[in-house]
Amino acid sequence: MKVGVVTFPGSNCDEDALLAVREHLQVEAVSLWHKDHDLQGVDVVILPGGFSYGDYLRSGAIARFAPIMQEIAVHAARGGPVIGICNGFQIACEAGLLPGGLLRNDHLQFRSMPVTLRVESSNTVFTRDVERGALLTMPIAHGDGRYTADATTLDRLEGEGQVIFRYVDAAGQPTPAANPNGSLRNIAGVSNATGTVVGLMPHPERALDPLLGSTDGLVLFRSLLALTKA
């Protein structure tokens, strides 16, 4: 298996994502440049966090037109796994790889803090190694993380099991107080219909080392190892 991490101008979690795959998964990882048209034969694409194109216009709005995104759209359409983390989630939504959009946090503050997530589905390439209902601790660091979609779309996502992560309190309840940005229905992450494209605002690649307070991000990366056995 080979994993590609895209670098856009303004990406700042790309090195962390490369390190996560190389050091914690012991899998080959390559950097993909936004201007390239070549996915270098990767099996999995990571759209990392950061502030691509300075968040100009809207978070992720310009990045979706980068040349590499055309190849990623083809890869995703063929069922190739893609994970969008933070800004990568915003880009995936802008590109139409995932439903909905991410708006300014309801309190207008940039929030950098650990949050508790409840895993709502194991039926994705990135969560198949973690049980539904499991609680994971990971950091968030964003200003535009309020997940939004119209009510019909939200009902469809819930019904089809495409809500993958929800912000919850220590008891696992999706309370308003546990919601760090005003996301509708406490949604922290969603998937496409087939569970091959996943996006989330929290940073699993920053939750891999006990020194950083949590190793709960590892299960998302470990879930990918099933691809090597397949």
Partner 1 sequence: MTRFTVSVKIVPRHGLLDPQGKAVTDALHTLGFASVRDVHVGRLLVIELEAADTAAVQARVREMCERLLANPVTEDFVIAEIAAA
Active site residue ranges? 86, 203, 205
Q: Is 12 in the site for partner 1 (CB under 8 A)?
A: no
* Least spacing, CB of residue 140 vs partner 1, in Å: 17
CA distance 97 to 93: 6
**Whether the Cβ atoms of residue 98 and residue 84 lie closer than 8 Å to each other:** yes
CA 75 to chain centre: 17
Query: Which position among 61, 135, 141, 225 is part of the footprint of partner 1 (CB under 8 A)?
Result: 61
Can you tell me the distance from the alpha carbon of 87 to that of 66, in angstroms, rounded to the nearest whole number?
14
Minimal distance, residue 186 CB to partner 1, in Å: 14
Q: Out of 2, 22, 24, 104, which residue is the one contacting partner 1 (CB under 8 A)?
A: 104
Task: Decide if residue 158 touches partner 1 (CB under 8 A).
Answer: no
Report in angstroms how near the CB of residue 200 gets to partner 1 at its nearest.
17
Chain positions 173 to 202 lying near partner 1, rule: CB under 8 A, are 182
Measured from the CB atom, the residue of 20 and 190 that comes closer to partner 1 is 190
Quick check: 155 binds partner 1 (CB under 8 A)?
no
- Cα 162 to chain centroid distance, Å, stands at 13
Among 80, 84, 88, 100, binds partner 1 (CB under 8 A): 100
156 binds partner 1 (CB under 8 A): no
Decide: 48 and 14 in contact? Cβ < 8 Å: yes
Q: How far is the CB of 149 from partner 1 (least distance, A)?
A: 6
Asked whether position 66 contacts partner 1 by CB under 8 A, the answer is no
Q: Does 103 bind partner 1 (CB under 8 A)?
A: yes
- For residues 89-106, one letter each, b for 16 or more C-beta atoms within 10 angstroms of the residue's C-beta and e for the rest, the string is bbbbbbbebbbbbbbbbe
Q: Does 205 bind partner 1 (CB under 8 A)?
A: no
Per 3-state DSSP, what percentage of the chain is helix, strand, and coil (rounded to 5)? 30, 25, 45
Residue 128: CB partners within 8 Å, gap ≥ 6? 122, 223, 226
What mask of x and - would describe binding to partner 1 in positions 107 to 146, judged by CB under 8 A?
Answer: xx-------------------------------------x
Among 2, 22, 24, 58, interactor with partner 1 by CB under 8 A: 58
Cα 68 from Cα 162, distance rounded (Å)? 26
Buried b (16+ CB within 10 A) or exposed e, 110-144: ebeebbbbbbbbbebbbbbebeeeeebbbbbbbbb
Q: Tell me which residues touch partner 1 (CB under 8 A).
A: 57-58, 61, 65, 93-94, 100-101, 103-108, 146, 148-150, 182
